[in-house]
A and B are shown apart, each in its own frame.
Chain A
């Protein structure tokens, strides 16, 4: 048996479980991510927009507290303002996720990547795992930072949340989960479209333009459809107050997860079927 193996290639090339391939591919993807400048810049913008916009909008609300109607204050979700920056951060993460795939097609690196890891589904899995880990850490830090600064500002108006209040920890963690799933969807779109401009256009259309268009539909279609859009499903995970156009937090999670799974599933089928 050993003899047969030796005559059919170097053991180092032939042997190894798929898990070993996944492990090596993850290390390789991590090296790729941290050795290009675009990663650093996109992550810096992600952190700055998450914390900066959240604190700015919360400070404005606090500053104009007396002028707000009782109605608005009763329906006030303290986390909604703290997490306002996520609407910008998701675009940075989306672009970065798209680039994880499309920059390889643009530079021709994909030929080396597939040559080094012919198991293309495992490779896509490694890209998703590695990118998700990076986004999870970066967005967890920025979301938690935004939460504590903003709630400290709101304490003066007796409107702040405590992390120990019911549902608040879940809502805070919903931010990073939403960012990770948006990033995964972006990788999938990048793998399907293979061109940066096209993939970014599709992603921005879905995240920014479609929600606005759906709102123009007659009621109750507008809210019924909006609930199931990726942006609303993601926001639902971080809602402390229930809004009519948002799903329950757990339902929001599963809807966004389904979008991510469907995109990655389609990408895996296409990566294997298409020539590099």
Chain B
């Protein structure tokens, strides 16, 4: 359980995180989404006590991170996979982390096995590939067998097999009842991995809810129709109150009516249909919708503020 209340972080004139409140529940994968520079990493840094909030607070398991004595037993974090001394071996990198939190060295071998780095354990971190470095970062997050996992862009630099592996790993960690917060800019990946989403833009909360609800509410779905009688059908559909856009000479996109209704309407008027299908928006579409609306809103505010009053 991660609980953020009115979390705010200001760097000079820049408001990186703006009155952000959310909670991350155990037993599911929570995706943390936002455009670049939206405050995801800053928020994660505040959760693990690296940056102090300007105001507001965030707790892990009901406590401030800084009050934990040996936090790796409670919270595992991957914030920067490059954060390792290049001349230290992969195993020694995990050894010092284990020592700092009284974690037995047997766990080092265990997590090296989990991420598939057992054979590379003796190699210096500087010699590891991008993907192996990412796996080492995930191993470090898993080291203390924590109930809460915070992973910033965990699939960066991984090959397709590695991406599938992370997806299964995150799902199984959530199934075990752990709290999993994972940020990514890859929307498609999020739609496959996450159960729940927290979406931020310019440091503010834009949306929070299940992945399915989010897509439905923001972008919804539309009906795609391909017909040689497009002009006639558009008139009929608009009479019924549907919003119709003409995508191509014979292709329509219909919102506000189900495909069943469109079919009945066309049949009643004797119109020929080549294709009739329901198209669900992707998480990417939904995300674009939400962040675009937000950007426009912000733009308007700035315009008003800038005009002479």
Of the candidates B48, B62, B96, B146, the one having the most CB atoms from chain A within 10 angstroms of its own CB is: B96
Query: Are B84 and A107 in contact, with the CB atoms below 8 A?
Result: yes
Measured between beta carbons, the chain B residues less than 8 angstroms from A18 are 69
Main DSSP-derived SS at the A contact region: helix
A36 is an interface residue with CB less than 8 A from chain B: yes
Quick one: closest B residue to A12, CB to CB? B73
Query: Are B87 and A114 in contact, with the CB atoms below 8 A?
Result: no
Query: Are B85 and A103 in contact, with the CB atoms below 8 A?
Result: yes
Q: How far, in angstroms, from A114 to B49 measured CA to CA in the complex?
A: 8
B115 is an interface residue with CB less than 8 A from chain A: no
Contact with B along A27-51 (1 / 0, CB 8 A): 1111110011110000000000000
A118 is an interface residue with CB less than 8 A from chain B: yes
Q: How far, in angstroms, from A129 to B169 measured CA to CA in the complex?
A: 39
B70 is an interface residue with CB less than 8 A from chain A: yes
Contact with A along B49-84 (1 / 0, CB 8 A): 111100000001111011111111111010110111
Contacts A112-B83, A115-B49, A276-B50: A35 and B70 contacting too (C-beta < 8 A)? Answer: no
Q: Contacting chain B: which of A3-11, A62-70, A150-158, A245-253?
A: A3-11
Quick one: closest B residue to A9, CB to CB? B61
Query: Are B65 and A14 in contact, with the CB atoms below 8 A?
Result: no
Query: Are B83 and A107 in contact, with the CB atoms below 8 A?
Result: yes
Query: Are B92 and A13 in contact, with the CB atoms below 8 A?
Result: no
Of the candidates B62, B102, B144, the one having the most CB atoms from chain A within 10 angstroms of its own CB is: B102
A21 is an interface residue with CB less than 8 A from chain B: yes
Query: Are A13 and B83 in contact, with the CB atoms below 8 A?
Result: no
Contact among A7, A29, A30, A115 for B62, CB-based, below 8 A: A7
Give the bracket for the number of chain A residues in contact with chain B. Answer: 35 or more
Q: How far, in angstroms, from A27 to B95 measured CA to CA in the complex?
A: 10
Quick one: closest B residue to A23, CB to CB? B102
B113 is an interface residue with CB less than 8 A from chain A: no
Query: Are A9 and B74 in contact, with the CB atoms below 8 A?
Result: yes
With both chains docked as a complex, state the minimum distance between the C-beta of B141 and any C-beta of chain A, in angstroms. 10
Contacts A8-B62, A24-B100, A108-B83: A118 and B51 contacting too (C-beta < 8 A)? Answer: no
Q: How far, in angstroms, from A188 to B267 measured CA to CA in the complex?
A: 82
CB contacts under 8 Å to B, within A113-162, are 113-119
Query: Are A38 and B87 in contact, with the CB atoms below 8 A?
Result: yes
Query: Are A276 and B69 in contact, with the CB atoms below 8 A?
Result: no
Measured between beta carbons, the chain B residues less than 8 angstroms from A9 are 60-63, 68, 74, 147
Measured between beta carbons, the chain B residues less than 8 angstroms from A117 are 100
Q: How far, in angstroms, from A15 to B79 measured CA to CA in the complex?
A: 25
Quick one: closest A residue to B59, CB to CB? A8
Instruction: Give 12 A-B pairs besides A7-B62, A15-B69 with Cβ atoms closer than 8 angstroms.
Output: A21-B70, A35-B89, A35-B92, A36-B87, A108-B80, A115-B50, A116-B71, A118-B49, A118-B65, A119-B66, A275-B50, A276-B51
21 residue pairs bridging A and B, Cβ less than 8 Å apart = A9-B60, A12-B74, A13-B69, A13-B70, A13-B71, A13-B144, A16-B70, A27-B100, A31-B95, A31-B99, A35-B88, A35-B96, A37-B87, A111-B50, A111-B79, A112-B140, A114-B49, A118-B65, A119-B66, A119-B69, A275-B50
Which residues of B are in contact with A by a Cβ distance under 8 Å? 45, 48-52, 60-63, 65-75, 77, 79-80, 82-89, 92, 95-97, 99-102, 140, 144, 146-147
